[in-house]
Chain A
């Protein structure tokens, strides 16, 4: 047991060091790029952009940490939050590896298998993207500059979010109705509403709809919690 505790503690220390090194490395990317192209964003515009993105990304960031950390294991968590693509790749990959090795999450064996799996997945993704970019960048660039493809590239966003949306709506179709209707109404009233403001409206609409539709998942527990609190206060 003490050895077990030692190992998890060590993983958290390694993870924290790599995590802050990654944070430093990631912040150095925009610094390096701005130096290379000799252009820095205006503070006014960045203020506006951050004010729009922060509530969305940062709230999502908190939700992701709370949701994924208990499932990924310590090492897997630190790796996944640096390399991303958690829900569509790292999490299923880690869970699949633990199932194949017949080990359980939150055990020392599970920790080892999950970490190896997620680290290998991160390496594989990095290699596939790097090789693909170096091998096909020129071909893609030639196609992108062809006027025949203008209609395709002008409609990248509807194509992308239509496809992404369909896969989510196939699983949770009920959740898509309220946010889309709310978004369309907002744009009907103010057609040039920025995507950040619009997203705030659609996310709130979607979360409220989810809490109403899936009331059964939380309402009873919430009521019991309130009741217990009242009883405790009465005592």
Chain B
């Protein structure tokens, strides 16, 4: 059961998902192509659309691939592969997986070896993300007619939509930043006596305690700061140096890997008591 996350059957599930995406995409390409010809759109314009869309997509797709590997350490490669192929979004997938693991006392920082934890993560990721598909066909037509018209007429409404959407996303990111600054993860465990038996209270119920399994500390804060600084530096360079412009889609994975590299360097260079310093003692009771 050691490598249950990457068995041939799991690969089979991934290929089923890929086959679906291929079928849906080709269906819409064929229908649109035919209609484009009926409308008199030149073949050259249609071919250019295909070529430019491929070129436009390759860099961000590589950055998505990189994030598949980042999640693969904890989840194996198949699940992140599937999740980032359908309704994929690194931030949302990470949030769902981390929320599920938090409830089980785990974290994405460690490899999942328990099939129970893994199946909880798979279900959490799916249930969290499929919601728009349940009502999209019901509202899509009305929205396109009503809001599409309003947005194209009212620039302020469009800008407010952008701001609120960015604010919601920043809210999600901020929770993780705050946890990297001063958060910890704890699991509820029964209190054991010297003989290793569970301690019961006067009512005969199990006495439990919260044991810390992970904590923010110097290394998490340094990694966070360096990720922010490196990202800002990459964005600045990509916008100032014309030659580097084409690397901007890679900025997030580049900064992320550079910050992870910094974490390795700090863990080797700093004195051990500093490198392993955390606000809350791992294994301690909260």
Contact = CB atoms under 8 A, between A and B. Distances in A.
Contacts of B207: none
B25 A57 contact: no
Interface in B218-257: 219-221, 223-232, 235, 251-253, 255-257
A109 B41 contact: yes
A96 B109 CA distance: 37
Contacts of A113: 36, 41, 45-46, 49
Given A123-B25, A192-B184, A167 B251 contact: yes
Contacts of A40: 119
A89 B85 CA distance: 13
Given A161-B176, A198-B178, A121 B13 contact: no
B86 A84 contact: yes
Given A88-B60, A165-B177, A120 B140 contact: no
Interface in B8-40: 9-10, 13-14, 16-18, 20-22, 24-29, 31-33, 35-36, 39
B230 A163 contact: yes
Interface residues of B, number: 170
B161 A203 contact: no
B58 interface: yes
Interface string A85-120: 101110011001100110001101101110111111
Given A79-B28, A133-B77, A210 B84 contact: no
Interface string B77-116: 1010110111111111011101110111000111100011
A36 B131 contact: no
Interface centre among A48, A78, A82, A105 (most CB of B within 10 A): A82
Q: What are the 10 closest A-B residue pairs judged by CB atoms, nearest first?
A: A162-B227, A183-B178, A203-B171, A206-B171, A179-B174, A151-B267, A16-B137, A166-B231, A70-B148, A210-B167
